[in-house]
Amino acid sequence: MEIQTTTRGGMRVYKIVLLGQGGVGKSALTMQFVTHSFIDYHDPTIEDAYQQQVRIDGETGLLDILDTAGQAEFTAMRDQYMRGGEGFIICYSITDRRSFQEAAEVKKLIERVRKTDDIPIVLVGNKYDLENMRKVSKEEGEALAREFGCPFFETSAALRHFVDDVFHTLVREIRRKEKEALLEMEKRSKKKQRMQRIRSLFSLKRRNKCE
């Protein structure tokens, strides 16, 4: 499915959605990224959108960040933000194995809604400061990211470790896939033009023969 890209005030807008089980630290990661502070309590039922201007690889952009909340069962809403998002941060907590399993489910849901597996995604294992409570190894996270074909980070929203990297890497993924799609389109239109040229040449020859 084609996603319309938007610009605002001359800046390219990137629509980013954070997904994952409740309590893994989606809001904490978002708040750290946007306000550079760790908010220990964030109402788990509040879903909110944030805007952040960024400069990545010399290019300015505006991130529209949707910090989702609540149950994945609300399918109408879930489908809507899965359709509207250009890039997804799928989060789990390294201290919670169920959240790791849910990350794989979330990826399947995005693919089902988008009808493609070529979606910009970054996989995040958060709370890596809680090493003594670790239930999911780094290797397992890396293996899942390989399966997804996406970048992977273990982060700490509490310590602000690798928080910027997650958002910046996702923007790079969106840009990379966009360029690939553009190249593919150019290749296809060149091929079409070539075919049209050949076809018109043939019909010319045929006409000449007839004359």
Q: Residues in the site for Mg ion, rule: CB under 5 A?
A: 26-27, 69
The count of chain residues that interact with ligand GDP, using the rule CB under 6 A, is: 18
Q: Cα–Cα distance between 182 and 145 in angstroms, integer?
A: 25
Nearer to Mg ion, 44 or 149 (CB): 44
Nearer to Mg ion, 27 or 95 (CB): 27
Instruction: Decide which of Mg ion, ligand GDP, none touches 25; Cβ closer than 5 to 8 Å per partner kind.
Output: ligand GDP
- Which residue do the tokens 């994952």 mark? 20
Q: Cα–Cα distance between 89 and 127 in angstroms, integer?
A: 15
| Smallest distance from Mg ion to CB 160, Å | 17
Q: What is the dihedral of CA 165, 84, 117, 60, to 10 degrees?
A: -30
Per the DSSP assignment, residues forming a β-bridge with 87 are 16
Nearer to ligand GDP, 26 or 175 (CB): 26
Are 127 and 95 contacting, i.e. CB atoms less than 8 angstroms apart? yes
CA-closest candidate to residue 125, choices 102, 153, 164: 153
Cα first-last separation, the chain: 48
Q: Which of 47, 129, 140, 142 binds ligand GDP (CB under 6 A)?
A: 129
Instruction: Decide which of Mg ion, ligand GDP, none touches 23; Cβ closer than 5 to 8 Å per partner kind.
Output: ligand GDP
Site residues for ligand GDP, 134-163, by CB under 6 A, read 156-158
130 forms part of the interface with ligand GDP (CB under 6 A): yes
Binding site for ligand GDP (CB under 6 A): 22-28, 40-42, 44, 126-127, 129-130, 156-158
